[in-house]
């Protein structure tokens, strides 16, 4: 993630900026409500990182996200975008610099896909030629044919609409993106695909992203950092996925990440990450075959299914290249835990 500065320049518009986002003791009390919805929330998202806000319903994660672009006004504390308070800026102008994608997508039914994507560039007064180029670029980026430009949202599938929603949020190349359960309304198979697409996209565009979800698995998959919120908008833990899974801060986080947290942690790592042994002649014909790019979770499952304690790791041409043992998996988990304690 520390390569973000160089990677940014490779974005589709070679826009060099991603912003640092900082929440400072942010509190939100809705009028007429005794209890705050967000209480003293502080965290910092480094430029180019995805920060996932996760928690049970009613924990204030959507409220927290909407405070950043002043869709909801904060009660006390401050939110800084590249060191500058969002309170200093006119809401409409601020929002044009912040990408906004929501679960219900909210495409404008009366506008074509091209017009929808062009929304913020138009508000910013870009000239026609520049807008046209940008729309072409974004359609390609999200993998839609150029002839989709003149279709209406009603003529697209749910997955296509969701992609257009993301493209529209990216259109003016904002340094910060807010995404509220952007893949929540999509069936699991397509959601997985959209998540992968977005992660691939993010490797190119390196935006600072605030991503809201109630799904811990999505949080672990998408987040560079995860903020777990509990009821009343209290921050239970803030850190990278490894930390959440291996060292939950309290019983709430431990319960929220699930009893299979160690397995979830393994799904974050590849077979090649584990300390592998040299290929062994006596691995036996029953030992499962895995590849370096498989997740450790899948490899462990294969080893357990075969009833042994090791798997043969194949190289690109399908020849045995190494051996993965259960001990090696255990060693990796231990090493990660020690690294977190240090």
In the complex with another protein, the residue whose CB is nearer, 8 or 69, is 69
In the complex with another protein, the residue whose CB is nearer, 104 or 196, is 104
Q: CB of 174: closest distance to another protein in angstroms?
A: 10
Question: Looking at 102, 176, 229, 311, which residue binds another protein (CB under 8 A)?
Answer: 102
Q: CB of 107: closest distance to another protein in angstroms?
A: 7
Is there binding between residue 35 and another protein (CB under 8 A)? no
Q: CB of 320: closest distance to another protein in angstroms?
A: 51
Q: Which residues contact 185 (CB under 8 A, 6 or more apart)?
A: 103, 104, 105, 158, 162
Q: Which residues pair with 239 in a beta bridge?
A: 226
Q: CB of 57: closest distance to another protein in angstroms?
A: 18
Q: CB of 169: closest distance to another protein in angstroms?
A: 8
- Phi, psi values for residue 76, rounded to 5°: -150, 170
Q: Cβ(236)–Cβ(250) under 8 Å? A: yes
Q: CB of 103: closest distance to another protein in angstroms?
A: 8
In the complex with another protein, the residue whose CB is nearer, 64 or 300, is 64
In the complex with another protein, the residue whose CB is nearer, 65 or 194, is 65
- Residue ranges in 209-248 that form contacts with another protein under rule CB under 8 A: none
Half-sphere exposure of 211 (CA within 13 A, CB side): 27
In the complex with another protein, the residue whose CB is nearer, 178 or 194, is 178
In the complex with another protein, the residue whose CB is nearer, 99 or 292, is 99
Question: 3-state secondary structure string, the chain?
Answer: CCCHHHHHCCCCCCCCCCCCEEEEEEEECCCCCCCCCEEEEEEEECCCCEEEEECCCCCCHHHHHHHHCCCCCCCEEEEEECCEEHHHCCHHHHHHCEEEEECCCCCCCCCCHHHHHCHHHHHCCCCHHHHHHHHHHHHHHCCCCHHHHHCCHHHCCHHHHHHHHHHHHHCCCCCEEEEECCCCCCCHHHHHHHHHHHHHHHHHHCCEEEEEECCHHHHHHHCCEEEEEECCCEEEEEECHHHHHHCCCCHHHHHHHCCCHHHHHHHCCEHHHCCCECCCCCCCCCCCEEECCCEHHHHHHHHHHHCCCEEEEECCCCCEEEEEEHHHHHHHHHHHHHHHHC
- Residue ranges in 68-97 that form contacts with another protein under rule CB under 8 A: 69, 71, 92-96
- Residue ranges in 105-124 that form contacts with another protein under rule CB under 8 A: 105-112, 119-120, 123
Give the number of residues in contact with another protein, rule: CB under 8 A: 31
Q: CB of 292: closest distance to another protein in angstroms?
A: 42
Over the window 280 to 299, marking each residue x when it contacts another protein by CB under 8 A and - when it does not, the resulting string is: --------------------
Q: CB of 93: closest distance to another protein in angstroms?
A: 7
Length of the chain: 342
In the complex with another protein, the residue whose CB is nearer, 150 or 255, is 150
Q: CB of 96: closest distance to another protein in angstroms?
A: 4
- Residue ranges in 144-183 that form contacts with another protein under rule CB under 8 A: 151-152, 154-157, 165, 168-169, 178
Residues that bind another protein (CB under 8 A): 69, 71, 92-96, 100, 102, 104-112, 119-120, 123, 151-152, 154-157, 165, 168-169, 178
């Amino acid at each position: 993630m520390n390569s973000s500065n160089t990677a940014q320049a490779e974005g589709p518009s070679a826009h060099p900026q991603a912003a640092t986002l900082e929440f400072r003791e942010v509190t939100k009390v809705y009028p007429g409500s005794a209890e705050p919805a967000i209480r003293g929330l502080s965290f910092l998202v480094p430029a180019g990182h995805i920060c996932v806000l996760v928690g049970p319903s009613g924990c204030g994660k959507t409220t927290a996200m909407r405070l950043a672009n002043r869709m909801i006004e904060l009660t006390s504390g401050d939110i800084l975008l590249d060191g500058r308070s969002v309170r200093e800026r006119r809401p409409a102008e601020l929002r044009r610099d912040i990408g906004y994608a929501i679960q219900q997508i909210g495409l404008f039914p009366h506008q074509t896909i091209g017009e929808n994507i062009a929304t913020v560039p138009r508000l910013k007064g870009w000239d026609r030629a520049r807008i046209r180029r940008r729309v072409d670029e974004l359609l390609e980026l999200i993998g839609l044919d150029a002839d989709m430009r003149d279709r209406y949202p009603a003529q697209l599938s749910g997955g296509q609409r969701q992609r257009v929603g993301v493209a529209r949020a990216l259109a003016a190349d904002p340094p910060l993106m807010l995404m509220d359960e952007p893949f929540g309304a999509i069936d699991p198979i397509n959601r997985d695909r959209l998540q992968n697409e977005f992660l691939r996209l993010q490797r190119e565009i390196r935006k600072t992203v605030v991503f809201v979800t109630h799904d811990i698995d999505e949080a672990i998959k998408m987040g560079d950092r995860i903020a777990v919120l509990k009821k009343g908008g209290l921050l239970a833990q803030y850190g990278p996925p490894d930390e959440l899974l291996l060292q939950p801060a309290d019983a709430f986080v431990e319960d929220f990440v699930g009893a299979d947290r160690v397995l979830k942690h393994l799904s974050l790592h590849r077979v090649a990450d584990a300390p592998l042994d040299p290929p062994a002649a006596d691995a036996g014909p029953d030992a499962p075959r895995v590849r370096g790019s498989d997740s450790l979770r899948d490899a462990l499952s294969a080893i357990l299914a075969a009833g042994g304690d090791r798997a043969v790791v194949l190289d690109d041409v399908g020849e045995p290249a190494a051996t993965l043992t259960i001990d090696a998996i255990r060693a990796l988990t231990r090493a990660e835990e020690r690294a977190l304690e240090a």
